[in-house]
């Protein structure tokens, strides 16, 4: 059995011989090394010369020698050695496998730049105290040594330059920052082989500061996107301009076309893959393409024709596609006639939604009496059509049967009366709930404004205005929130002009404004004047002090209210602003 010292010295000698074969590398490795964590350097040269000025970089290396025959891709290192490497800017680890006759068999390696060592040491802290660690190492062909050392030189330099100021998470990366991945390879796809043997730490280029900073966590590239320029034509009708292709780590190429269609190229085999989009208009376009493809069964890629097998689709499936296309076109036609522009999500179009749409079609578009078992009296009907929220007027005509009318139907008038008053005509929009404003997809806001502006002088619309404000607060999408805000603002201005008592119309106007901006000094003075003149009205005092941002005074007025008044106040949109006060 050869002793350990001879094995180590033989490994260093053999490695030095291999390295000297490259004219731009010069080994300076120590035997009888008194620093077990370091075995010297390998110089990378500019020219085939040993002059000092021709030394491009010196790479610190650690050389381990072994005669083991199995599991050569694993190597055990002392934890203290790792700490030493980390404190001294990293190292390039060589593991030299030699025979019993001290001949070279294989060389393995592992790049250990600063961030890789930091990652390893961080993982060690999570484990129990241990003296050694097993590292993955990778086989290194002799002709690859120069390229690996040059790659390590660049990786180490970049990481040392930014040590201590690396990004910790993606949350720190801003929109205009650019993430850069550097690696050694002949083409972009080389990254997939590169990352099998190397940790990949991207850098973030920050244009506003003119610097690059390393990202502290290593990543895995699962796909690359390359710019291309060619056309794909499905059959004879549908042409797509392709400007990008995606290559995955398994060498599979995906070419996305449009509306759920993409080509997949794998080992010279082409397949057309498809997934029906969720949006109605896109699903119809998708089905039209698929129907044509199943008829023709061929595609063109830059005028080169690719014919698919005749049995790639069965007549049964062709009929299924045709029926599906016809059904979705009928749905689209009905929605267009109803004036609904919001996109229907077909994956939400369940059985209940289909029944509701049939009832709307029969009653509103074809003027028929329909069964509406959930309605027993005249009121607004709220009908779910997938992700759409349709509001209609329901008039009961017989048991569990009646007619639906479009809420925008101008031929119909509505009135209310009390014991003391004669019937008064009202806008149908007075009957809408907060949730109707937040969700309704068939409301024409121009008609809402016209409807309320028909009211006679002195008549207020505080109640529907409050519902619109509350609807804006709870609406799911920003576009709807902004639409309701604009609607409320216009109606609030008209409400002040049309009202005789302008106290609550003014408070309602300013609570709308407050949701977008701070009040001006003049506006604050108006609220203070209202507060002074109505200091005994707790609801008025509460509203004014909330809008003025006076939390303690708002608390005072709220606590002065009765339990019932407080309960009602909590339902008003002004209470949301109150809860936001600090």
The contacts found for 355-359 with CB under 8 angstroms, 24 or more apart, are: 356/383, 356/384, 356/385, 356/390, 357/331, 357/385, 359/383, 359/404
| pLDDT greater than 60 at residue 450 | yes
Place 418 in a pLDDT band, splitting at 50, 70 and 90: low
Q: How far apart are CA 543 and CA 511, in angstroms?
A: 9
Contacts of 282 by beta carbon, 8 Å cutoff, 6+ apart = 259, 260
Cα 150 to the chain's mean position, in Å?
38
Q: How far is CA 477 from CA 106, 142, 474, 484, 487, in A?
A: 62, 61, 9, 11, 16
- Identify any residues that bridge with 107 across adjacent strands, giving them in sequence order: 96
Place 196 in a pLDDT band, splitting at 50, 70 and 90: very high
Q: Which pLDDT value is given to residue 278?
A: 95
- 98 versus 378: which is more confidently predicted? 98
SS (H, E, C) 511-531: HHHHCCCCCCHHHHHHHHHHH
Q: What is the mean pLDDT of residues 398-408?
A: 84
88-111 residue pLDDT tens: 899 999 999 999 999 999 999 999
Q: How far apart are CA 58 and CA 66, in angstroms?
A: 25
Q: Which pLDDT value is given to residue 572?
A: 95
Q: Which pLDDT value is given to residue 446?
A: 94
Q: What is the mean pLDDT of residues 365-382?
A: 75
Q: How far apart are CA 39 and CA 132, in angstroms?
A: 19
Q: Compute how many other C-beta atoms are within 10 angstroms of the C-beta atom of residue 298.
A: 13
Residue in the structure block whose two tokens are 């029906």? 276
| pLDDT greater than 90 at residue 540 | yes
How is residue 54 annotated by DSSP?
A: G
Mean pLDDT of the chain: 89
| pLDDT greater than 60 at residue 252 | yes
Instruction: Kindly report the pTM of this predicted structure.
Output: 0.72
Indicate the pairing of strand 55-66 with strand 91-98: parallel
Q: Compute how many other C-beta atoms are within 10 angstroms of the C-beta atom of residue 73.
A: 12
Burial string for 82-105 (b: 16+ CB within 10 Å, else e) reads: bebbbeeebbbbbbbbbeeebebe
Place 458 in a pLDDT band, splitting at 50, 70 and 90: very high
Q: Which pLDDT value is given to residue 376?
A: 44
Q: Which pLDDT value is given to residue 182?
A: 83
Q: Which pLDDT value is given to residue 144?
A: 93
Element (H, E) at 246: strand 238-248
| pLDDT greater than 80 at residue 427 | yes
Q: Which pLDDT value is given to residue 218?
A: 87
Q: Which pLDDT value is given to residue 351?
A: 94
Six token digits for residue 245:
């292709």
Q: Which pLDDT value is given to residue 527?
A: 96
Place 328 in a pLDDT band, splitting at 50, 70 and 90: very high
Place 396 in a pLDDT band, splitting at 50, 70 and 90: confident
Six token digits for residue 519:
């009040």
Q: How far is CA 455 from CA 81, 169, 469, in A?
A: 86, 58, 20
Q: What is the mean pLDDT of residues 56-66?
A: 93
| pLDDT greater than 50 at residue 505 | yes
Q: How far apart are CA 336 and CA 341, in angstroms?
A: 7
Q: What is the mean pLDDT of residues 554-574?
A: 95
**Is residue 32 within 8 Å of 90, Cβ to Cβ?**
no
Give the lowest-confidence range in 311-325, 336-350, 486-500: 311-325
Q: Which pLDDT value is given to residue 373?
A: 57
SS3 364: helix
Q: What is the mean pLDDT of residues 214-224?
A: 87
Q: Which pLDDT value is given to residue 565?
A: 94
Place 161 in a pLDDT band, splitting at 50, 70 and 90: confident
Q: Which pLDDT value is given to residue 210?
A: 79
| pLDDT greater than 80 at residue 571 | yes
Q: What is the mean pLDDT of residues 186-198?
A: 89
273-312 residue pLDDT tens: 888 999 999 999 999 999 999 989 999 999 899 998 877 7
| pLDDT greater than 50 at residue 188 | yes
Q: What is the mean pLDDT of residues 309-331?
A: 86
Q: Which pLDDT value is given to residue 355?
A: 92
**Is residue 185 within 8 Å of 191, Cβ to Cβ?**
yes
Q: Which pLDDT value is given to residue 2?
A: 61
| pLDDT greater than 80 at residue 55 | yes
Q: How far apart are CA 479 and CA 186, in angstroms?
A: 48
């Amino acid at each position: 059995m050869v002793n350990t010292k001879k094995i180590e010295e033989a490994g260093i000698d053999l490695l030095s011989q291999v390295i000297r074969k490259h004219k731009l590398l010069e080994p300076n490795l120590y035997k009888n090394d008194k620093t077990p964590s370091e075995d010297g350097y390998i110089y990378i040269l500019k020219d085939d010369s040993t002059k000092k000025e021709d030394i491009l970089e010196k790479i610190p290396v650690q050389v381990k020698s072994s005669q083991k025959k199995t599991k050569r891709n694993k190597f055990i290192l002392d934890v203290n050695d790792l700490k030493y490497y980390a404190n001294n800017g990293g190292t390039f680890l060589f593991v030299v496998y030699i025979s019993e006759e001290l001949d070279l068999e294989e060389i393995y390696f592992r790049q250990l730049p600063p961030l890789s060592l930091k990652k390893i040491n961080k993982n060690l802290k999570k484990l129990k105290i241990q003296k050694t660690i097993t590292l993955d190492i990778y086989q290194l062909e002799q002709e690859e040594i120069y390229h690996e050392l040059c790659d390590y030189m660049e990786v180490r330099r970049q990481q040392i330059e930014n040590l201590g100021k690396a990004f910790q998470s993606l949350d720190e990366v801003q929109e205009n920052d650019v993430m850069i991945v550097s690696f050694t390879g002949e083409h972009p796809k080389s990254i997939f082989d590169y990352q099998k043997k190397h940790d990949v730490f991207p850098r973030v280029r920050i244009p506003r500061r003119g610097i690059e900073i390393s990202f502290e966590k290593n990543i895995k590239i699962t796909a690359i996107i390359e710019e291309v320029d060619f056309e794909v034509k499905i059959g004879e009708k549908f042409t797509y301009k392709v400007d990008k292709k995606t290559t995955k780590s398994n060498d599979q190429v995906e070419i996305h076309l449009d509306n759920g269609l993409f080509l997949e190229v794998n080992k010279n085999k082409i397949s057309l893959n498809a997934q029906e989009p969720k949006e109605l208009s896109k699903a119809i376009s998708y089905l039209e393409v698929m129907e044509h493809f199943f008829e023709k069964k061929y595609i063109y890629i830059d005028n080169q024709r690719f014919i698919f097998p005749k049995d790639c689709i069965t007549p049964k499936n062709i009929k299924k596609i045709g029926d599906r296309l016809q059904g979705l076109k009928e749905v689209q036609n009905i929605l267009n006639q109803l004036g609904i522009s919001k996109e229907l999500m077909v994956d939400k179009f369940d059985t209940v939604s289909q029944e509701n749409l049939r009832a709307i079609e029969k009653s509103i578009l074809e003027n028929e009496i329909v069964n509406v078992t959930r309605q027993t009296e005249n009121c607004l009907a709220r009908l779910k059509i997938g992700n759409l929220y349709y509001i209609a007027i329901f008039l009961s005509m017989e048991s569990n049967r009646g007619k639906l009318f479009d809420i925008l139907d101008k031929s119909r008038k509505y009135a209310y009366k009390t014991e003391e008053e004669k019937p008064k005509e009202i806008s149908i929009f007075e009957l809408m709930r907060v949730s109707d404003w937040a969700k309704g997809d068939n409301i024409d806001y121009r008609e809402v404004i016209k409807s309320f502006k028909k009211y006679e002088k002195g008549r207020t619309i505080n109640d529907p205005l409050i519902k619109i404000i509350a609807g804006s607060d709870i609406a799911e999408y920003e576009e709807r929130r902004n639409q309701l805000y604009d609607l409320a603002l216009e109606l609030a201005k008209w409400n002040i002009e049309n009202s005789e008592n302008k106290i609550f119309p003014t408070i309602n106007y300013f609570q709308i404004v407050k949701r977008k901006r701070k009040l001006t000094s003049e506006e604050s003075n108006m609220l203070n004047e209202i507060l002074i003149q109505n200091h005994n009205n707790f609801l008025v005092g509460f509203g004014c002090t909330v809008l003025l941002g006076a939390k303690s005074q708002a608390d005072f007025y709220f606590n002065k209210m009765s339990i019932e008044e407080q309960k009602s106040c909590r339902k008003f949109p002004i209470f949301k602003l109150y809860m936001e006060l600090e």
